[in-house]
Amino acid sequence: MKNQFLIVSTIVIASFALVSMTVKDFEIQDPWEVPAKYEKMQNPHVGDADADQVGRMLYKEHCASCHGTKGEGDGKKADTVDTEVPDFTDGTLSEQSDGSLYYKTFIGRDDMPGFQEKISDEKQQWLIVNYIRTLGS
């Protein structure tokens, strides 16, 4: 009798553990808070004609591996990170300020590497922001 109780409770506890692990896998990422200082940052290169050329080149070199050539979040490395790589073509970028996109790209968090050191030229940084915006349209 005692043994049976032990077996049943072990099964119950194990199933709970399994279910909570599975649920965690599908959890949506926490909202990404952007500090006000960044959110309000002005982009000095809005509409810069270089965005298409230079921005695209930098994107291909540094971002497409995860975010995909078209920004759909389907790059080769996307499956190797735990966090879902967001789709830039779903319209969510247009709801965010240039400063927010700058913050997320160059400060980063968890699986999104901060690119401040790899891409330190300020103009290049903003051209990437300009370029990823064009992927949504």
User: Residue 48 has which token pair?
Assistant: 């810069």
- Which of 45, 56, 105, 127: binder of ligand HEC (CB under 6 A)? 105
Question: Closer to ligand HEC at the Cβ: 3 or 30?
Answer: 30
Q: Are 134 and 51 in contact (CB under 8 A)?
A: yes
The secondary structure of 105-121, three-state, reads HHCCECCECCCCCCCCC
The answer to whether 55 and 128 have CB atoms below 8 angstroms apart is yes
Instruction: Select from 15-23, 36-44, 49-57, 111-119 the region that touches ligand HEC (CB under 6 A).
Output: 111-119
Q: Considering only 5-13, 35-43, 48-56, 76-84, which stretch makes contact with ligand HEC by CB under 6 A?
A: 76-84
Q: How far apart are CA 126 and CA 45, in angstroms?
A: 6
Q: Give 31 or 47: the residue with its C-beta nearer to ligand HEC.
A: 31
Contact with ligand HEC (CB under 6 A) among 77, 91, 120, 123:
77
Number of DSSP helices (H) and strands (E) in the chain, helices first: 6, 0
Q: Give the footprint of ligand HEC on this chain (CB under 6 A).
A: 29, 32, 62-63, 65-67, 77, 81, 83, 85-86, 92, 101, 104-105, 109-113, 115, 128, 132
